[in-house]
């Protein structure tokens, strides 16, 4: 018989709309223990009000201290999906209410043994959340000569999440190239970081180094698939491509999530 995974409670402290379709949630772990995780990992939230336990995965969006984080405060960014069970229940969550979540999971992380000369990071929509947490690691990597290309995709400039934080990081970190890929509309006064393209198409502006590049693809499953195919065609071995598709595993088009790497 299916045994639900162990959970611990998060209490909602604050939430607000970042854009008309994306809500930012700030929780605290309410059992008093710290939450130990690596930037890039996700939590599985147990959806309230269902007869049998139903879970939805959300990447931890905390802006972190270097590498590993022991946090009491947990941030998530959740895109509202029409008819979506999890997103509807999350929107209805009141401040002070608690939700059960599982331990952090996933391998969509920058790891100490990675032999990267350059990180190629592609994200769309809320799929930029893992990269927010990785910024301090990327800064440390830059000090060791590792460069970063960060391609962030959204429909319009207003839909780009945490744009000021990523812009500040690109200004501060050496050899850090940032592109905001606006698929529908450029800003009125576009800068050198703004392009009118899908993220996977913006990749064409960068020559792939099969020996030195390590690529990460996160968010919309179509983007992840298209980006993966392009990187493979450009000679990047699939061992050097990490993927996080934002889909509900039981629904059509979903893939089995990576084997959990709980900390």
Ligand X SMILES: Cc1cc2nc3c(=O)[nH]c(=O)nc-3n(C[C@H](O)[C@H](O)[C@H](O)COP(=O)(O)OP(=O)(O)OC[C@H]3O[C@@H](n4cnc5c(N)ncnc54)[C@H](O)[C@@H]3O)c2cc1C
With respect to ligand X, which residue has the nearer C-beta, 86 or 147? 86
Per-residue binding letters, 121-160, with ligand X (x by CB under 6 A): -----x--x-------------------------------
Strands of 137-255 (E only): list them: 147-154, 176-182, 194-195, 213-219, 241-245
Smallest separation, CB 235 to ligand X (Å): 27
Contact 191, 167 (CB under 8 A): no
In the window 27-66, what residues touch ligand X (CB under 6 A)?
42, 56-59
Distance CA 150, CA 252 (A): 29
Question: Does residue 248 bind ligand X (CB under 6 A)?
Answer: yes
Question: Does residue 21 bind ligand X (CB under 6 A)?
Answer: no
Question: Does residue 79 bind ligand X (CB under 6 A)?
Answer: yes
At what angle are helices 163-172 and 129-143 packed, to 10 degrees? Answer: 10
Question: Does residue 84 bind ligand X (CB under 6 A)?
Answer: yes
Distance CA 80, CA 206 (A): 32
Local structure of 172: helix, strand or coil: helix
Residues facing 75 on adjacent strands: 26
Smallest separation, CB 183 to ligand X (Å): 14
Q: Which residues contact 62 (CB under 8 A, 6 or more apart)?
A: 39, 69, 71, 73, 74, 75, 132, 133
Smallest separation, CB 117 to ligand X (Å): 27
DSSP string, 30-57: TTSPPEEE-TT-EEEEEPTT-SS--EEE
Q: Which of 69, 87, 102, 200 binds ligand X (CB under 6 A)?
A: 87
Q: Which of 13, 257, 260, 261 binds ligand X (CB under 6 A)?
A: 257
Smallest separation, CB 138 to ligand X (Å): 19
In the window 192-211, what residues touch ligand X (CB under 6 A)?
none
Kindly list the residues in this chain that would bind ligand X in the complex (CB under 6 A).
Answer: 42, 56-59, 77-79, 81, 83-87, 106, 126, 129, 244, 246-248, 251, 257
């Amino acid at each position: 018989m299916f045994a639900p995974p162990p959970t611990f409670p998060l209490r909602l402290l604050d939430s607000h709309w970042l854009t008309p379709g994306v809500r930012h949630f700030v929780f605290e772990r309410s059992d008093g223990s710290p939450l130990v995780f690596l930037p890039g990992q996700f939590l599985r939230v147990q959806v309230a009000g269902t007869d049998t336990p139903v879970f939805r995965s959300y990447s931890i969006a905390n802006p972190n201290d270097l590498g590993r984080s022991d946090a009491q405060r947990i941030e998530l960014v959740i895109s509202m999906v029409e008819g979506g069970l999890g997103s509807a229940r999350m929107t209805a969550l009141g401040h002070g209410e608690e939700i059960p979540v599982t331990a952090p999971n996933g391998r969509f992380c920058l790891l100490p043994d990675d032999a990267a000369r350059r990180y190629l990071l592609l994200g769309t929509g809320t799929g930029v959340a893992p990269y927010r947490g990785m910024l301090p690691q990327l800064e440390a990597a830059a000090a060791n000569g590792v460069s970063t290309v960060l391609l962030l995709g959204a429909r319009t400039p207003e839909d780009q999440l945490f744009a000021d934080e990523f812009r500040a990081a690109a200004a501060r970190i050496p050899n850090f190239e940032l592109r905001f890929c606006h698929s529908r509309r450029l800003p009125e006064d576009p800068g050198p970081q703004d392009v009118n393209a899908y993220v996977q198409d913006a990749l064409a502006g960068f020559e792939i180094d099969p020996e030195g590049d390590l690529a990460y693809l996160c968010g919309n499953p179509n983007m992840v698939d298209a980006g993966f195919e392009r990187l493979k065609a450009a000679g990047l071995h699939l061992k050097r491509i990490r993927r996080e598709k934002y889909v509900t595993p039981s629904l059509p088009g979903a893939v089995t999530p990576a084997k959990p790497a709980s900390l």
